[in-house]
Amino acid sequence: MWIYEKKLEYPVKVSSCNPTLASLIIEQFGGADGELAAALRYLTQVWTMPIPQAKAILTDIGTEELAHWEMIGTMVYQLVKDLPESKIAGTPFAAHYANHGKSPFPHNAAGAPFTATYFNSKGDPIANIYENMAAEQKARATYEHLIRLSDDPGVTDALRFLREREIVHFQRFGETARLLQEYMDSKRYY
């Protein structure tokens, strides 16, 4: 079904240890507008899409979001992996460390665990595609916030790549919305 290469979609090169930045970036690992929520949203919506092009774009983007989730997990881990506990204590990452150690765990930057309420599947193709377009714009905005907060050039580079992918996904969903609307309109006879 897929061919998995043991490399990230885009290289993640973290140049420093920074538990505070890790605690912010984890938003995209388990937050409402993060990569896991996007992947599950799109892969759940596939079954009710009435045209093959919509099924294909949801499958393609959904699986790409899982690759992005892998990149975010890698960033979070690389930002803390070499830190002794004494350098984690007193940082925003300390609460995460107390429960999960240095392992990325899906929760948002405030510590709320991932929940399926972060995504939806309405069974209505048009509603789903427009929700997906909004989700991509919210993720883009989050990446822009993270880019402004990052002081690590390698992290910033990877975040920019991820932001650009959100823009491309938004465009693909826009094209899919047009195809779906044409399909829905062709089914109406007056």
- Let me know if residue 66 belongs to a domain: yes
DSSP for 35-82, please give it.
Answer: HHHHHHHHHHHGGG-SSHHHHHHHHHHHHHHHHHHHHHHHHHHHHHTT
Section 94-99 average pLDDT:
97
- Let me know if residue 10 belongs to a domain: no
Distance in Å from the first CA to the final CA of the chain: 42
- Let me know if residue 13 belongs to a domain: no
Domain ranges, residue 146: 19-105+122-186
Write the CATH number for 131. Answer: 1.20.1260.10
For 31-77, what is each residue's pLDDT tens digit?
A: 999 999 999 999 999 999 999 999 999 999 999 999 999 999 999 99
The per-residue pLDDT for 6 is 85
The per-residue pLDDT for 5 is 79
CA atoms within 13 A on the CB side of 28: 33
For 72, residues 6+ apart whose C-beta sits below 8 A from its C-beta are: 25, 26, 28, 29, 34, 35, 104, 162
The per-residue pLDDT for 3 is 79
What is the value of pTM for the model shown? Answer: 0.94
- Let me know if residue 95 belongs to a domain: yes
For 173-188, what is each residue's pLDDT tens digit?
A: 999 999 999 999 987 6
Section 110-137 average pLDDT:
96
Residue 129 DSSP code: H
Section 137-151 average pLDDT:
98
The per-residue pLDDT for 35 is 98
In angstroms, the Cα distances linking 48 to 21, 55, 133, 180 are 39, 8, 17, 12
Contact 62, 43 (CB under 8 A): yes
Per cent of the chain over pLDDT 70 is 97
In angstroms, the Cα distances linking 108 to 20, 34, 84 are 13, 8, 23
DSSP for 137-163, please give it.
Answer: HHHHHHHHHHHHH---HHHHHHHHHHH
Tokens of 106: 């899906």
- Let me know if residue 134 belongs to a domain: yes
Whether 1 shows a pLDDT value over 80: the answer reads no
The per-residue pLDDT for 190 is 57
Whether 171 shows a pLDDT value over 60: the answer reads yes
Whether 12 shows a pLDDT value over 80: the answer reads yes
- Let me know if residue 12 belongs to a domain: no
Contact 33, 139 (CB under 8 A): yes
- Let me know if residue 2 belongs to a domain: no
Whether 124 shows a pLDDT value over 80: the answer reads yes
For the chain, the average pLDDT equals: 96
- Let me know if residue 180 belongs to a domain: yes
Per the structure, how many domains does the chain have? 1
Per cent of the chain over pLDDT 90 is 93
Tokens of 140: 């883009």
Tokens of 168: 């491309």
The per-residue pLDDT for 110 is 96
